[in-house]
Amino acid sequence: MKFKRARGFTLIDLMVAISIFTLVTALVVANFNAGARNDSVRQGASIAAGLLRRAQTATLAGALLSDGEFPAGGYGVRFDANNAGVLTLFADKDGNFNYTDAAEELEDVLLPDDVVFGGGTLAVVFSAPDADAYFNGVASEASKTVTFSAASADVTQSVIIYRLSGQIRVQ
């Protein structure tokens, strides 16, 4: 009499399958974490562009401060190299088209963890009535670029502000 051998998985087959599954899972998780870090840089650039557009819109709309006055120079955003994880929305109350001091600050906006901007300290002010951009109180350059990065990410993002058109681009 001849016995048929039972078919199925052996212990070795099962161990190989679990090993392959574990390896694939580890690779997916590692790639996901890298993608999340890269997304934080993109998010930081989007936050900056949104804050710049908010200052531009407040200037064009003639938004009044809590004291009922419109700031003489308009609204702007400050990128402080000494605090590269924070952006500051401010009202140019003295009309010099630049950030003067903390009395002009309206709001600080935090960037995502580990995201910083490069390019030094920059104050971008949008002047009324047409929202021309001033960079550090001067209207001489055609555009300015602020670059965002993170130590743990492989990507950088740039926010470009065009002086005369007021266009704000993220690339």
**What one-character-per-residue DSSP string does the chain give?**
--PPPPPS--HHHHHHHHHHHHHHHHHHHHHHHHHHHHHHHHHHHHHHHHHHHHHHHHHHHT---TTS---SS-EEEEE-GGGTTEEEEEE-TTSSSS---GGGEEEEEEPPTTEEEESS-EEEEEETTTTEEEETTB---SEEEEEEEETT-S--EEEEEETTT--EEE-
Answer whether residue 40 shows pLDDT above 80. Answer: yes
Strand partners, 42: none
Residue 35 — pLDDT band, cuts 50, 70, 90? low
Query: 58 or 14: which carries more pLDDT confidence?
Result: 58
pLDDT reported for residue 82: 94
Query: 26 or 61: which carries more pLDDT confidence?
Result: 61
Angle, CA 75 vertex, CA 148 and CA 138 arms, to 5° = 75
Answer whether residue 15 shows pLDDT above 80. Answer: yes
Find out whether 115 and 41 touch, Cβ atoms under 8 Å.
yes
- The residues spanned by each domain of the chain are 11-170
Instruction: Check if CATH label 1.10.287 holds for domain 11-170.
Output: no
Answer whether residue 3 shows pLDDT above 80. Answer: no
Residue 108 — pLDDT band, cuts 50, 70, 90? very high
Q: Give pTM, 2 decimals.
A: 0.81
pLDDT reported for residue 9: 78
Mean pLDDT over each residue of the chain, to the nearest integer: 91
Answer whether residue 153 shows pLDDT above 80. Answer: no
